[in-house]
Amino acid sequence: MGGDSNYRAVFRCIAGCSEEYPLDEVVYRCKKCGGLLEVYHDVDRLRELSPKKWKELFNSRVGTTKWPYGSGVWSKKEWVCPEVDNENIVSMFEGNTNLFWAKRFGAMIGMNDLWIKMCGNSHTGSFKDLGMTVLVSMVNEMIMRGKPIKAVACASTGDTSAALAAYCAYAGIPSIVFLPRNKISTAQLVQPMSNGSIVMSLDTDFDGCMRIVQEITKDNTIYLANSMNSLRIEGQKSISVEIVQQFDWEVPDVIIIPGGNLGNVSALGNGFDMMLQLGLITKKPRIVLAQAQNANPLYVAYRNGFKEFKPITPQKTLASAIQIGDPVSVIKAIKALQQFDGIVEQASEDELSNAAALADRTGMYSCPHTGVALAVLLKLVEKQVISKTDKTVVISTAHGLKFSEFKVGYHQGTLPDVKSNYANKPIELEANADRVREVLFNELQRRSTVAY
Ligand SMILES: *Cc1c(COP(=O)(O)O)cnc(C)c1O
Ligand SMILES: [Zn+2]
């Protein structure tokens, strides 16, 4: 066995039968009852270190170059995946992303304590790196232990495949990605191509790709990297710890996160749950899950008090990474929302686009999913569900640079169902100084009369 022998984690069935499997076994669902698995940590062992000592340990590591602890994820290794030998970890020092103080955006809506967690400021440009470093590290560990794994595969709405391809390329492990043809951005398609992945572009949507990859990975030599694989959730849950750590261990009042397959909101909940269990915090934040109106199965379920959940066929949304109708992690997500006084709210195409553009005017560069979360923030502040004095964090899930089609379309006014209130087109002009001066001063004059 590699890893930290002091600590122990296993896969455990969450459907009530409590079957356990070692983390180096190729297993995605409970073999007894078909239930979802979760990584279960031996919390009693972890309790042997006091809350103060954990905080000191985490503070001493993050941002350093001491392998692998400088990573935002691996700085919390004992809580994430103690099973991996440090030598087998595949890390690009992911995480440790900045909290952006949304000073001007907040001021527009009367908030002074509004923060954006910039998860897109990461190696492949989205929060998917946080989970993928753990999954690929575990695969690498399994290969080193002699398991016959030929490749790692995933279905993706774009960002998971980019992360999988990069981490596999770093480790020298073959990767296969299944993408819905013409439903992801150019940047997202070209990332796995560049990293040498086998890129399968299928005539279906995400849910269709998901069905295919589950078929293919029934062959145990191809390892499944979707978020049904709870190793990824373990890495992603480090954002909760990281946010609280960045506030010097103060817990925010509200956290807003966009969701599609609903792994990330489950991870967020798990991170807070672990900090509560180990006594690092005593207060619970309220968690808000933001969905695109065109792909809103959890919103519908929330409106009927989570009495039942029905998968839907999602409509097309600009927030393409959350265009999912049958989310794998729905049970875990509902559990997290119930534990953290959760709310689900939705945003239309027009609302998400204009919220993103408005935020960009204050220095951000928001992807459409972050736009969904920002639009939900605006709505909930308007409805006074979120108070203006609440310490609020919006999770920005990807970098805007991955979504240039969205940005260009917005400013050209060509996005469907969107009225581009903040379009800003380039001024095209002959290179004549007098003419340039005239146009420029007119424009400055115009801008002095409206809010920019
Ligand atoms: C994957 C992804 C999401 C949704 O996360 P889930 O865990 O599927 O809910 C949101 N935004 C971006 C940019 C993503 O890549
Ligand atoms: Zn079971």
CATH number at residue 296: 3.40.50.1100
Please state, in angstroms and rounded to a whole number, the distance separating the CA atoms of residues 221 and 162.
21
* Cα of 340 vs its chain's centroid, Å: 18
Provide CB contacts within 8 A for 266, sequence distance 6+.
Answer: 233, 329, 332, 333, 335, 336
> Which of 36, 122, 127 is the best mutation target for the ligand 1 pocket, counting ligand atoms within 8 Å of the beta carbon and taking the most?
127
Nearest CA-CA partner of 231 in 2, 10, 8: 10
Q: Is residue 24 part of a domain?
A: no
| Residue pLDDT tens, the chain, 452 long | 456 678 999 999 999 898 999 999 999 999 999 999 999 999 999 999 999 999 999 999 998 999 999 999 999 999 999 999 999 999 999 999 999 999 999 999 999 999 999 999 999 999 999 999 999 999 999 999 999 999 999 998 899 999 999 999 999 999 999 999 998 888 889 999 999 999 999 999 888 999 999 999 998 999 999 878 899 999 999 999 999 999 999 999 999 999 999 999 999 999 999 999 999 999 999 999 999 999 999 999 999 999 999 999 999 999 999 999 999 999 999 999 999 999 999 999 999 999 999 999 999 999 999 999 999 999 999 999 999 999 999 999 999 999 999 999 999 999 999 999 999 999 999 999 999 999 999 999 999 987 66
Asked whether 398 and 367 are in contact (CB, 8 A), the reply is yes
Tell me, using a 6 A CB cutoff, whether residue 159 lines ligand 1: yes
Nearest CA-CA partner of 368 in 381, 392, 352: 352
Q: Is residue 134 part of a domain?
A: no
Tell me, using a 6 A CB cutoff, whether residue 397 lines ligand 1: yes
Q: Is residue 160 part of a domain?
A: no
Cα 167 to ligand 1 centre (Å): 18
Please state, in angstroms and rounded to a whole number, the distance separating the CA atoms of residues 377 and 365.
17
């293919």: which residue's tokens? 216
Please state, in angstroms and rounded to a whole number, the distance separating the CA atoms of residues 250 and 43.
22
What are 313's two structure tokens? 């066929």
**Owning domain of residue 390:** 99-124+233-412
Cα 330 to ligand 1 centre (Å): 13
Q: Is residue 250 part of a domain?
A: yes
Q: Are strands 175-180 and 151-155 parallel, antiparallel or unpaired?
A: parallel
What are 34's two structure tokens? 């078909």
Count of structural domains within the chain: 1
Query: Which residue has its alpha carbon closest to ligand 1 atom 2?
Result: 321
Q: Is residue 84 part of a domain?
A: no
pTM of the model: 0.96
First to last CA, the chain: 59
Tell me, using a 6 A CB cutoff, whether residue 367 lines ligand 1: yes
Q: Is residue 16 part of a domain?
A: no
Asked whether 162 and 264 are in contact (CB, 8 A), the reply is no
* Cα of 428 vs its chain's centroid, Å: 38
SS3 307: coil
